[in-house]
Structure 1
Amino acid sequence: MEYQLKKSLGQHFLVNEAICKKIVAALQKNRFSQLLEVGPGGGALTKYLLDIPNIDFKAVELDTEKIAYLEKTYPNIQQKIIHASILEMDIPFENEFTVIGNFPYNISSQILFKILEWKQQVPFVIGMFQKEVAQRVAAKPNSKTYGILSVLIQAFYDVEYLFSIEPTAFKPPPKVMSGVIELQRKAVVENMLSEKHFFLLVKTAFNQRRKMLRNAVKSLFEADTLQDEIFNKRAEQLSVADFAQLTFKMKHPL
């Protein structure tokens, strides 16, 4: 049984077994009892994940053809596939669970925002992304790649860039390199007025990242507060802690 690639779903299938094993080895450094695979596709990772003993495994897949292929090829995946888009699905487990996936490149940032919504239940993530996105998530302040994604993810997770993957590891080869990162949920999160304030401040600051912070976020603060020296900086010069502290000076209520 063959399956067709769907360009619209951003599909590139991992076919390099050594890379698959490397990703699964990185996953298994952590203990978990519940695992969600996002976008199993042709089952490159899935076949290894199904062999992990004593875990509750689920996979979320939007493409009906892939589901039929997976159920035929790996009979023990029956009843474990959620036919949905991860962006629209309900939380798949009652308790904490780990997330793994070769994330579809066209929605990978949105998948990360979904994981942020679920963060109370997701202590650990291993994800493959377009290399540029993986680097953005892991970026540090004062770099061109540091932005909304970097700050919002790093506020709640420690990010480690694990390794890069050549296009030849996939079928068909994508036009870009890929990168695998791991997210470990932080035990202690910076104090902030509220997540809502924090998200709004970070997004507003980076929406005009070339402007001085004072001009980019002036709608969120009283005029006298904007005289503080920190507002002479640009968004990319602020750490997660800087943004968190600034939330306490924002106008209330939102």
Structure 2
Amino acid sequence: MAKKNSSIVQGHQARKRFGQNFLSDNFYINRIVDSIAPTDTDFMVEIGPGLGAITELLISKVKQLDLVELDKDLIPRLEDKFATANNLQIHHSDALKFDFSSLTQTSTNDSTSKLRIVGNLPYNISTPLIFHLLNFRAEIKDMYFMLQKEVVERICAKPNTKAYGRLSVMTQYYCETEMLFTVPPGAFQPAPKVDSAIIKLSPKAESLLTATDTKLLAEVVTSSFNQRRKTIRNNLKKYLTDDQLESLSIDPSVRPETLPIENFISIANWLAKH
């Protein structure tokens, strides 16, 4: 007997290049939507809706739902499935290049018009996509993403842990982060080889973002973690001296993973000033 192709889901060939693993377990689909708690005033965006499993639960609960889908073969399926919906717009686009601010240009600036975003993100683009979305943070209320569990742990990691690094510092600078729950491989078709997890990201108010130059902050953080086993002194020696680090109450002999976010902000602000 021929072996069944596990990559064919509901008649669609799941594409590796798009990182397609479709969530198919109703328990987890409902749990995600319950976590979002959508209301009839919400402007929702779903990135990578796939076959529409989450879409189906959201569409009757929200004021407006925009879908951003890269796979052109899925567009007609989504159009057919939700043909009667009058609050849905489908965008055939690469989310990494999509202008999310275009979705709020016709709405007012009150809190109910801010975007709420959900997505089962392809693991190979999850980090750059999150950083792309942070460019639109002023127009986003919150984001709920399915990611590789290891990536969620890195985003939420605290200082003095192995997972703490550039991704932790930069995401936590811009957002409140919360790992909600894990999702096993068997909840997907085809099943990935790793555990997944749902993360909630809530962009902070601009008044709480105290770095005077965020590009410089990103540069400092990247340099700090380029060689994790080296001290902060060695990793940042082209930026400032031991005495200058000590003037910021930072011990030059410690490793970068021991420093809280506030220390990286202090370094970046000192450099911006001097």
Q: Indicate the larger mover: 144-153 or 180-189.
A: 180-189
TM (normalized to structure 1)?
Answer: 0.92
Using the TM superposition, give the Cα deviation of residue 180 of structure 1 relative to its aligned residue in structure 2, in angstroms.
Answer: 0.3
Instruction: Tell me the residue number matched to 1:48.
Output: 57
Work out which of the two has the higher radius of gyration on C-alpha atoms and give 1 or 2. 2
Instruction: Tell me the residue number matched to 1:117.
Output: 135
Deviations 1:126-148, CA, capped at 9 Å, x for gaps: 11101111111111111111111
1:147·1:236 contact (CA, 8 Å) conserved in 2?
A: yes
Deviations 1:145-200, CA, capped at 9 Å, x for gaps: 11111111111211111000110000011000000011122245242221111111
Q: Distance in 2 between matches of 1:123 and 1:209?
A: 33
2:83 alignment partner, one of 50, 66, 75: 75
Q: Distance in 2 between matches of 1:148 and 1:246?
A: 15
TM (normalized to structure 2)?
Answer: 0.85
Instruction: Tell me the residue number matched to 1:209.
Output: 228
Q: In the comparison of the two structures, how many residue pairs are matched?
A: 252
1:93 alignment partner, one of 76, 89, 103: 103
1:20 alignment partner, one of 26, 29, 37: 29
Instruction: Tell me the residue number matched to 1:7.
Output: 16
1:218·1:226 contact (CA, 8 Å) conserved in 2?
A: no
Q: Distance in 2 between matches of 1:77 and 1:240?
A: 45
Q: Distance in 2 between matches of 1:233 and 1:189?
A: 27
Instruction: Tell me the residue number matched to 1:60.
Output: 68
What's the secondary structure of 2:74's corresponding residue?
A: helix
Instruction: Tell me the residue number matched to 1:241.
Output: 262
1:131 alignment partner, one of 130, 134, 149: 149
Matched residue type, 1:236: E
CA RMSD between the two structures: 2.1
Instruction: Tell me the residue number matched to 1:146.
Output: 164
Can you give the 5+ residue segments of structure 2 that lack an aligned partner in the other structure?
1-9
Say yes or no: does 1:155 pair with 2:163. Answer: no
Q: Indicate the larger mover: 29-38 or 119-128.
A: 29-38
Q: Distance in 2 between matches of 1:155 and 1:249?
A: 17
2:142·2:203 contact (CA, 8 Å) conserved in 1?
A: yes
